[in-house]
Structure 1
Amino acid sequence: MIEIEVNIDIVKAGLTRLARLGEDMSPLTRDLAEVLKGGVDRAFADEEDPATGEKWRPLSPATLARRAKAGHTGAILQVSGQLAASIQTEHGPHFAAVGTNKVYAGTHQRGAKKGSFGQAKRGTRGAGRRNARNYTARGGATVGGWLSGRARGGSMPLPWGDIPARPFLGIGKPEEAEIEESVRRAVRSALEGA
């Protein structure tokens, strides 16, 4: 009779480390959050949807004229650079995410039809104030001087024109490849004990 003795301690140790990785994937999710942030950075740099690679719709002639009058010559969605600079990463034991605290980000991500946020009604901002122009949108939200002169006659739609979607959040082929490689590295490291 032939006896073969197999020492599976190495395999058991690797599987134990792999199970621990499954309980707290923070080292991996930190990498994944950075990959997601890289996709957003690429979207702003290339002015394209990170998931599809489709170029963002160009700015309307009215927007180009308003920007030129104000001296803004920057890229789409980057007049002030605040939106691109506001992108933050977050990760934990079982998640990786990117996002922004800018309330207007969703409008740029998904777009909006003219009037989809209601109507702006002419209001007042402080009695006796000279040239005080404020408008109150449906629901009581106040919209300041950037509407000055646009709502003659009492009200106007918000937004006053269609805003095309310009997605900057998403996962494209480059991110998919990086995510796959990061997961492989993490699993390999856990199994090998590196």
Structure 2
Amino acid sequence: MAGIRVEITANSTIIDDTLQHAFNTLANPELMLKDIGEYLVISTKDNFDKEQTPDGDAWQALSPNYLKYKKPNPGKILQRKGGLYRQIFWQVSNNELAVGTDRIYGALMHFGAPRGQFGKSPKKNLELPFGDIPARNWLGVGKDDEEEIYLIIQDHLQANN
């Protein structure tokens, strides 16, 4: 994934311990990671629909100036044409799960950027970006996600018995 991905380190000792137990117990932990990945993609898209962070905080509203020019999907945050929303996926390799996007602008939308951070455009000599882009945390794991991940791990451990 060239765009953005997050590395999840659970803040929960219970999840850390349960995940470690799963890796030590399951013959194929990649099946569990795929289920967690599928869940996180769905959760991330739900957050897009609600225009909120993984912890449920609302994203900053679009600026009135940007709203004058935004087409299509006027008023929808981070969903101009839906490319970022459609390109959220998971990938499992070597017992590691990555969730993110291959869209390079995904990082820009997640972390934000002040006006002019990337210099000027060669053709029109305009600052890039031409306005401040606020950080809108769209990728990550919230408290509800941690609970669901724990349940997915438990399901795989129980199925293994």
Determine whether 1:181 maps to 2:151. yes
Question: In 1, Cα distance between the equivalents of 2:23 and 2:85?
Answer: 36
Matching residue of 1:157: 127
Determine whether 1:47 maps to 2:51. yes
Shift, 1:173, TM fit? 1.6
**Partners of 2:35 and 2:152 within 8 A in 1:** yes
User: What amino acid does structure 2 have at the position aligned with 1:114?
Assistant: R
User: What amino acid does structure 2 have at the position aligned with 1:167?
Assistant: N
Bigger Rg, structure 1 or 2: 1
Shift, 1:188, TM fit? 2.1
> How does 1:121-140 map onto structure 2 within 5 Å?
121=122, 135=123
Aligned residues: 140
Give the 3 Å change call, closer, same or farther, for CA 72–29 of structure 1 in structure 2.
closer
Question: In 2, Cα distance between the equivalents of 1:19 and 1:71?
Answer: 49
User: What amino acid does structure 2 have at the position aligned with 1:41?
Assistant: K
Give the 3 Å change call, closer, same or farther, for CA 79–71 of structure 1 in structure 2.
closer
Shift, 1:39, TM fit? 2.2
When the two chains are superposed, the root-mean-square deviation of aligned CA atoms in Å is 2.0
**Partners of 1:25 and 1:92 within 8 A in 2:** no
Matching residue of 1:138: none
**Partners of 2:32 and 2:153 within 8 A in 1:** yes
**Partners of 1:30 and 1:92 within 8 A in 2:** no
Matching residue of 2:74: 73
Shift, 1:79, TM fit? 1.6
Structure 2, unpaired ranges of 5+ = 1-21
Matching residue of 2:39: 35
Runs of 4+ in 1 over 4 A off after TM superposition: 17-20
Secondary structure of 2:121 counterpart: strand
User: What amino acid does structure 2 have at the position aligned with 1:107?
Assistant: L
Give the 3 Å change call, closer, same or farther, for CA 183–72 of structure 1 in structure 2.
closer
Structure 1, unpaired ranges of 5+ = 1-16, 122-134, 136-150
TM-score by length of 2: 0.78
**Partners of 1:29 and 1:92 within 8 A in 2:** no
Q: Percent identity?
A: 32
Secondary structure of 2:59 counterpart: coil
